[in-house]
Each structure stands twice: as structure tokens, then as C-alpha cells.
Amino acid sequence: MIIFSGLGHQPAHCQDQQGSEKGNSILSLGMAKIIDDNIAAAKQKAVSSAIERGVEHYLVRRLGEKAAAEYLDRLVEGVIPRANELVENYYIVREAQVGDHYALLLQIKVNEKLAGDRLQEAGLLQTETRAIKLLFLVGEEEAGKLKYWWSSPDELSPLNPTELALFRAFQDKGFDLINRTVSLPPSGVSAEMRRGELDLSSISKWGEVFDADVVLYGKSLIGQDGGISVAFQVVRVSDGTEYCQLTQAWTGGSAQSREEIVNALDETIRQMMPRLESCIEEAGGAVQQAYSHFVVTLKGLESYVQYKRLRDFISKEIPGVKRFTQSRIGSHFVSFEVEFQGDKNKFANLVMYHDGLPVPIKGVEQQGDEVTLLIGQ
């Protein structure tokens, strides 16, 4: 059996198959030997073989190679024997008799919800899943003039500085980043989709064009005075739902040269990353991270007002905090036991770069299972 690779994917090789697929649609080649001139029986066996192998490949891809290898016994015993149940529909693209074998090319569509239910029943969905496909639909406004690539998508304009900054920031973050310059959209894009200011429906349609799960839509604003800011919306493609709106201004002074503008964009987006990641993960329906437990110490407190503001801010405004309980108190410090959805680095970044931070924090120290927030300018 062979599952054919699509453009831009690297095939995963094994002894008798290689594979790639787009979403939940799989193109699979099945073969069966013709016995006693019974072509109908051979055709049915070829269909069954293609379905079984195609669904196997889908399940391995959805779980991830590491998880599939670790839980191979559960996959083989609990899910694969019911592979046929996971097929929503299929059709034969082409069929042919080759010597004493019958071959056919099958297009299979997997029912993703049912597949997820089966994997959940087998206890397999706590592990690695398919990366969220993320499209940057981002323009730039400079000196009052808006430039955006989707006005003429067929011209294949190069990535603008804001897109490049986003690619650098999201690199190695676990997302499947869509490079629009190598993923040409089809012809016939509507006039509404070419406007500078897009509504949620048009944003979602652009996501569909590029087979994205989530679209990061917005723009950077570069003022004549050297001021830089960015404004983004995070939109889920499947239903056009907006999950958040985020803005961030660069506070490093005036950026005049191209190099200074690029550096300012990099720094501005870097500060937004904890919030962007959380919002995109929520919009993409990513599997939730496990909760971790550690100690957070507020060091350098000067008043009860500072203590109360930070306590309420962390417990109520930082996404992922499940428990924030005071554990010890001393001269100018208070410690809390924390249960948080993610690790210590993610927690520290969410606090430090939050635009609603009520008390200045000048630094973060981490040692063992303790995060210390240093209060002050």
C-alpha cells in the first residue's frame, strides 16, 4: 500500500508505504491478488486494504510518531481493528488490473471526531497531536498608507517585515506555520477578500484557502515619528470565531532606519508571544498542557496594597492558574503554592509581559521549583 505525498510534505518511509495527507483526507493505493478470476473479490480486498492502511497512517500522524511508538499496543488492540468505522466516506479515483493483481487509488475521508473519541477511549489523547496550522494575514501601515499582500495574492509578494518577525517568533513553538509564498491560493478570490479591512467571514475564508486552522490577522503601524505598534486578531477558521484581540506598542523610543524598525518589531512581538500562544492554542483546540506545581515568591514588597494587587492579578488574570494559595510570609516577601497549566517559563512570561501588570516587576529568578518575582522598577 502507498499513501501519496502532497506538495510541500516530506514522506515518511517504511518498507511498503510512504505517506502524507491534507487534513483528514487521505489518498491511498490498495492492491490485492486475483484468485480464480474473481475480480470483484480482489477489488473488495484492495478497497479494504487501502482503507485499513490509510486510517493507520492517519492515526499515527494524529498521535505523532513518538506517542504512536510508545503506545503501539493500545493502538493495535483498541483502535486499528475498528478502522473501517472511522471512514466518513471514500471514492475510487482510478482502478486497473495489473497482471494477476487488482489495483485502485482510493480517496478516503476520516471522521475526525469519531477518531478522536476512539483515541480518547484508548487513553491516547493525552499525548502529542497534530500541530495547529497557522496563517499570518498581516499587513503594514506606514506613513498612513496600508500595504497588504492579499490585495493581489497572485503577485506572490515577499514576506513583509512583520510577517518575518512573526515567523521568527513562532519558530520552534510547535505550530505548523503556513508560508503563503509557497502555497499559492486558487484563482477566483472574491473582491471582499481583497479589501484592506476584513470581516471575520473573509478572514475565515482566507484560512480555508490555505487549509489553516487558525488565522492571525492584523497589521503593524509604523509612524513617521518612529513609533511602532501592532494589533492582531486570532480567528478560528472552522466557524469564524474571534478568540482575542491583542495590541502592543514598542517602548524603545524612535525607530527610523529599516534595521531599527525590524528590531523593534521583533521585540514587540516577542513580548506578545505568551498571550498569542495561549490564544492560538485555545482557538485551535490544542490538547491542554498538564498542570504543574511550583512556588511563586513575591520579593521586595513595600505595602499591603502591592501584595493584594499582585495576588488578585495572578490568581484572576493569568490564564492557566488553577490554584494560588499563600504558603509562607516574611519580611518584604510572600510565597504562594501554584497549580498552573504549563511550565514555570510560560507562567513567568505571562506575568512579565502582561499589559495589565498592576505593580512593576524588574526581574524574574528561577531556582528548582520556585519562581521569584522581583518587585520594583
H helix runs in the chain, sequence order: 39-63, 65-70, 72-78, 112-121, 161-170, 200-209, 258-284, 304-317, 344-352
User: What is the pLDDT, as a whole number, of residue 188?
Assistant: 64
pLDDT tens for residues 88-144? 889 899 999 999 999 999 999 888 778 877 887 777 764 344 678 899 999 999 877
Domain with CATH 3.30.1660.40 in the chain: 2-121
pLDDT beyond 80 at 254: no
Domain with CATH 3.40.50 in the chain: 133-284
What percent of the chain has pLDDT above 90? 35
What percent of the chain has pLDDT above 70? 89
Q: CA dist 283 to 133, 143, 185, 230, 310, Å?
A: 11, 33, 23, 20, 28
Among 69-83, 129-143, 275-289, which stretch is predicted with the lowest mean pLDDT?
275-289
Q: CA dist 270 to 169, 235, 266, 280, 342, Å?
A: 6, 20, 6, 15, 18
Burial of 74 (0-12, 13-18, 19+ CB in 10 A): middle
311: nearest Cα among 347, 328, 335, 294: 335
Domain with CATH 3.30.70 in the chain: 291-375
Instruction: Decide if 137 contacts 216 (C-beta within 8 A).
Output: yes
Average pLDDT of the chain to the nearest whole number: 82
Residue 340's DSSP bridge partners are 292, 321
Task: Please tell me which residue, 130 or 202, carries the higher pLDDT value.
Answer: 202
278: nearest Cα among 371, 341, 226: 341
Please give the CATH architecture assigned to the domain spanning 291-375. Answer: 2-Layer Sandwich (3.30)
Q: Which three cell numbers stand for residue 35?
A: 484468485
pLDDT tens for residues 287-320? 445 677 889 999 999 999 999 999 999 998 888 7
Residue 75's DSSP bridge partners are none
Buried b (16+ CB within 10 A) or exposed e, 153-192: beeeeebbbbbebbeebbeeeebebbebeeeebeeebeee
Q: Which single residue is written with the C-alpha cell 498581516?
A: 138
User: What is the pLDDT, as a whole number, of residue 193?
Assistant: 92
Report, as an integer, the average pLDDT of 69-87. 82
Instruction: Decide if 183 contacts 8 (C-beta within 8 A).
Output: yes
pLDDT tens for residues 317-346? 888 788 899 998 988 899 999 988 777 877
pLDDT beyond 60 at 10: no
pLDDT beyond 90 at 72: no
User: What is the pLDDT, as a whole number, of residue 185?
Assistant: 60
Q: Which three cell numbers stand for residue 369?
A: 521549583
Question: What residues have CB less than 8 Å from 317, skipping those under 6 apart?
Answer: 354, 356
Other C-beta atoms within 10 Å of 203: how many? Answer: 23
Instruction: Match domain 133-284 to its CATH number in 3.40.1000, 1.20.1070, 3.40.50, 1.10.1760.
Output: 3.40.50
Q: Is the pTM of this model over 0.75?
A: no
pLDDT beyond 50 at 48: yes
Angle at alpha carbon of residue 201, lines to 196 and 202, rounded to 5°: 35
* Yes or no: domain 2-121 corresponds to CATH 2.170.190.11: no
Among 11-20, 32-41, 224-233, 302-311, which stretch is predicted with the lowest mean pLDDT?
11-20
